[in-house]
Amino acid sequence: MRSETTTLHADLAIIGTGLSGMSAALFAVNRGLSTVLIGSGSPMNFASGLMDLMGVWPSSKEWDDPWAGIARVRKEIPGHPYATISDDSINQAFTELIAFLKVQGLDYRRSARRNVNIITSLGTIKKSYLVPATMWNGMLAFENQSPSLIVDFSGMKLFSACQIASTLSEQWPGLSSVRLEFPNTSHLEEVYPEHLARALDVPENRKRLADLLRPHLKTHAYVGFPAVLGTSAPGETVSELEALLERPVFEIPTPPVSVPGIRLHQALIRGFEKHERLHFVPDMAKKVTSLSGKGFSVTAGNDGRRCHVRSQGVLLCTGRFLGRGLIAERAGIREALLGLPVTQPESRQMWHHSTLFHPKGHPVNRAGILVDPLFRPLMQSSAPYAEQLHAAGSILAHSDWTRMKCGSGVAVATAHAAVTAFDQGM
């Protein structure tokens, strides 16, 4: 087998292609930094596409105003990643991301100071901050209690319009449901969101779907669909369905694999594709070496295809257990690439409470890397590991994002803060 080795030089090497790594790449190129982004695959394809900023803290206190929630977190969890980032910086990070996605044809919407109420596939209401524009009408329909019809499709798993309508019946009496056979799928036992989304990229299929649905429409002011309304240009699919059905439509997030998550990932990839300051290395980083004050050497790939990156700084965005930035072992939790110290419960027995839904959450979900205000990982001595090694995203300690509903907010805001710190330190 022939082996191929390349060497790249950059200001910043970003490791990890989840939301934190990809938004960091955007912030870096926007600041004129030559950037290498290293990683293969992305958990973003499984994510709902919603971007939460701060939803719940403490215990079951739900925040309508995410900024008030963040202010409380800053006071009560001094090590939380939000503790050293100002509201203005968080806001700027999102503004930059929204503008970039818009150019790629993916519209996101938010309300200045309020979380948005989003209907889930379980028929519950979830608070989020920044939502795909295709879901916005769902929030309006819910808040105005408008008579609405939720649609699902035969053979689609884990999404039941009937369940949504019956779970929400007390809060939203004018909600009803219908199950349709998606055009051209009568021969299939199961249908999958990505396939339906791709089918709806074809205008003829949108017309067929509207024809099937029209007889079920009565006084409904809105129509809600599972989030399958097209792949790369969902706004176009939504507009056309709205014209065909003569009323506003909206999407409801589905469980993974999620089309809005795939859209988000693809929009970022599209935007980076021809960017002159960004080089993408589609492999896992295997080794990071600090060259004693002269930057870093990162090796990615395997024997068949190897890439050496020489960079002034490194930004670690390798995620938690799912991304394998953190590894859970019998002896404890370790950071996978550099062996950085991981803040964690004293023993494995203390990782979880005995009740699954313990109001304080499980201590293992707060484990992670401690950083200084410049987002540089700290050693046991509390000194930074290296001047220009930074970390961002879910690998950071003290943010139990699934529980606090702050996953994407932490990913985007810390990526912005870390890139800004690196840029200013250059």
Give the footprint of ligand FAD on this chain (CB under 6 A): 15-21, 38-39, 41-43, 46-48, 50-52, 256, 284-285, 317-320, 322-325, 337, 393-394, 401, 407-408, 411
Residues 6+ apart with CB under 8 A from 355: none
Nearest approach, Cβ of residue 3 and ligand FAD (Å): 19
388-407 burial: b if 16+ Cβ within 10 Å, else e: bbbbbbbbbbbbbbebbbbb
Pick 194 or 236: Cβ nearer ligand FAD:
194
CA quadruple 106, 47, 117, 409: dihedral, nearest 10: -80
Nearest residue relative to ligand FAD (C-beta): 18
Identity of the residue, 317 or 386, whose beta carbon is nearer to ligand FAD in the bound complex: 317
What does the block give as tokens for 63? 């925040």
Give the nearest distance from C-beta 22 to ligand FAD in angstroms: 7
Give the other-Cβ count within 10 Å of 12's Cβ.
29
Give the CA count within 13 Å in the CB-facing half-sphere of 35. 30
Q: Which is nearer to ligand FAD, 52 or 400 (CB)?
A: 52
Please report how close the Cβ of residue 369 comes to ligand FAD at its closest, in angstroms. Answer: 11
Query: Look-up: residue for tokens 């938004």?
Result: 23
User: Which has the closest alpha carbon to 200: 153, 161, 141?
Assistant: 153
E strand spans, 163-321: 175-180, 222-226, 249-252, 278-281, 285-290, 296-301, 305-316
CB of 18 to ligand FAD, least distance (A): 2
Closest by alpha carbon to 392, among 66, 84, 52, 9? 84
Q: Which residue has the tokens 């987002």?
A: 375
Burial annotation 340-377 (CB, 10 A radius, 16+ → b, else e): bbbebbeeeeebeeeeeeeeebbbbbbbbbbbeebbbb
Sequence-distant (≥ 6) Cβ neighbours of residue 99 within 8 angstroms: none
Between strands 285-290 and 296-301, the pairing is antiparallel
CB of 169 to ligand FAD, least distance (A): 24
**Residue 229 vs residues 220, 235, 250, 283: alpha-carbon distances, Å:** 19, 8, 9, 31
Q: Report the nearest approach of ligand FAD to the CB of residue 354 (Å).
A: 25
Torsions phi, psi of 307, nearest 5?
-130, 130
State the minimum distance, in angstroms, from the CB of residue 283 to ligand FAD: 7
Of 208 and 308, nearer to ligand FAD (C-beta) is: 308
Q: Rounded to the nearest whole angstrom, what is the least distance from the CB of residue 128 to ligand FAD in the complex?
A: 6
At closest approach, how far in Å is the CB of 49 from ligand FAD? 8
Length of the chain: 426
| Closest residue by Cα to residue 361 from 409, 407, 319, 401 | 401
